[in-house]
Every structure is written in structure tokens, then in C-alpha cells.
Chains A and B, each alone.
Chain A
């Protein structure tokens, strides 16, 4: 079983739409959670960390549900420039220096 699972998509949405992705993780000892964004043929870049209480950064909201072992990313008012692959990353408590990546969810925002 993979450490981190994501729906690969693609999610095709019109500009201005609200879209949400989920990511499930298998290890309840996971400590830290992140969303990374990866543009086509580019390296992953940190989008936001995910805190236990949930957190928001502009149009982006991340939430953590420890009981069900999933994290979510909500994007409001989608822009064309949001088109990318979104990678879910978990970092276990038992090994602070290990990072497990999901396969990514592809988002296409259409005009």
C-alpha cells in the first residue's frame, strides 16, 4: 500500500470555479503535511504547509483530518495560472527527514 494516495485527475474546470482535491495517507504517525505545486517539466515547489487547525493563503485553503487520515486543498476563483499538478507530501513523526510524495493531481483551468 502506498504511503500517500491521490486521484490523478485531470480535473478540468472553468476559470472562476472552485475545485478541491483530497489526499489520503496510510501512516497514522505522520506528523507534517504539505502541498507542492509542479508545473509541466519543472521542479516541485512548496505551495503551503497544512496545519492541524487548517490554514488559508489567499485563494488556497488546506485542511487536515487526522481521524480519517486525509488532507485537502481547496482552490477558489481558479485562474488559468493555477493549471499544474498538485503533489501531496507527508512527513512521518518517526523519521523527521523522510518525505513521502503522492503521484499528484493534475488541474487544468480552462478559459
Chain B
């Protein structure tokens, strides 16, 4: 697509529920990132994919968080047993992965998650 698309734009859920957030990166971008941003903070790295594989998942806070990118394009961030502290904006970004555009992040509009 023309830009990075994220769905849903807003998600309200109850504590303990399961949530999936989807990201559709720019067509042809091989690298995909998930970040989390809390109010008044900068984006915090969660996980990075190069193609289908998670090249770096060191930012995932615990084992309730998991992400996949089975075909090297769309990615899904999955959060199990949500907690109130998971409330944040989840941002997805993609880059070309190599070459001149490799270090230019293009972000989606984000998915705002509220856990009640």
C-alpha cells in the first residue's frame, strides 16, 4: 500500500482479555518494527522483523506479548491476558531493510489500546 496501515485504530478491552493488532507495511518494505508509546514518552522498541523472521525481539516486555509475520508482509502483534499497564499506542513502522532507505522509519497511525 501507499503507507503503513494499522488496525484497529482504537481498541478497548477488559483486563485479562486477548488482543490482536495488525500492521500492513509499505509494499516492498522488508523490515518491520513494532513500538509502544505511552503518554509523554518516546516510542519504545518491541520487536523487529526482517522478512518473516523476528530478527530482534529483545523489547517484548514479557511472554504475554508475541508477534508474527508469516508471509513477510502483514504482521500481527498478539497480547495475552492483557493488563492495565499494557494501555498505550502501539506503533508499527517499516523500512526498505537495505540500501539508501534502510534507516528511514515510516510509521503507521498506530493502534490505541485501552485496558479497563
| Residues of chain A having any CB pair with chain B under 8 Å | 4, 6, 8, 32, 34, 36, 42-46, 49, 87, 89, 91, 95-104
Contacts and interface: CB of A to CB of B under 8 A. Distances in A.
26 contacts: A8-B40, A34-B103, A43-B91, A43-B110, A44-B43, A44-B91, A46-B105, A46-B106, A49-B104, A87-B42, A91-B103, A96-B102, A97-B31, A97-B50, A97-B56, A97-B102, A98-B48, A99-B33, A99-B103, A99-B105, A100-B45, A101-B42, A103-B40, A103-B42, A104-B41, A104-B42
A98 B103 contact: no
Contacts of A98: 45, 48, 56
Contacts of B48: 97-98
A8 B48 CA distance: 27
Interface in B33-55: 33, 35, 40-45, 48, 50, 55
B109 A42 contact: yes
Given A8-B40, A43-B91, A91-B103, A97 B55 contact: yes
Contact of B108 (A4, A32, A43): A43
Contact of A43 (B33, B42, B102, B109): B109
Given A4-B42, A46-B105, A89-B105, 17 more contacts: A6-B42, A36-B105, A43-B109, A44-B91, A44-B107, A45-B107, A46-B104, A46-B106, A97-B50, A97-B55, A98-B48, A99-B103, A101-B35, A102-B42, A103-B40, A103-B41, A104-B42
